Amino acid sequence: MIKQITKEAYEFWISVSCLLLAIETLIANGYLLWSGIAAIIVGIIVWLIPLSLEIQVFIFLISTIISVLFWWYWLNKICKPQKGLPNQRNQNMIGLRVILIEPTNNGYSRVKINDSSWRTYCEMELIIGTKVEIISINGNTLNVKPIV
């Protein structure tokens, strides 16, 4: 079997890559994708330059590690962690600057954020159009302070 693998090594590596990528489509967790890509790389290299089986396996291991590290670097660069806890998107609004759409009445008013209207509280009486900054959140009420 080893003689057959070394005789047509590029076919073996392309077959391994197809198998790994097919399993990846069923599992869909991202682990076998990079090994499949590494197997394609080894298949192309062996097709161009005949190498011993030990060197082929070494190239496969190195290319798997490099592709995983590249993916990890790219993923960390693209996907920035969100502040706040999951299911607490309100915490992301702290520090946001908005404009009052109603005058304050006993300290309460409203602001519009995206397509929603939010209740606000400020210790000072403010007029419509006052720019405010969200400083904290108490339930569904945004505590704000005017921007001077």
What percent of the chain stands above pLDDT 70?
A: 88
Q: Taking the model in full, what pTM does it have?
A: 0.53
CB atoms within 10 A of CB 103: 13
Residue with token string 């609004």: 93
- List the CATH code of the domain at 89-146: 2.40.50.140
Residues of the chain with CATH 2.40.50.140: 89-146
Strand ranges in the chain using DSSP code E only, listed in sequence order: 97-99, 108-113, 116-121, 131-138, 141-146
Q: Which two tokens stand for residue 141?
A: 């009420």
Half-sphere exposure for 142 (CA within 13 Å, toward CB): 30
Dist CA 125 CA 69 (whole Å): 55
Tens-digit pLDDT profile for residues 97-117: 999 999 999 999 999 988 889
At 85, the pLDDT band (50, 70, 90 cuts) reads low
Is the pLDDT score of 55 beyond 90? yes
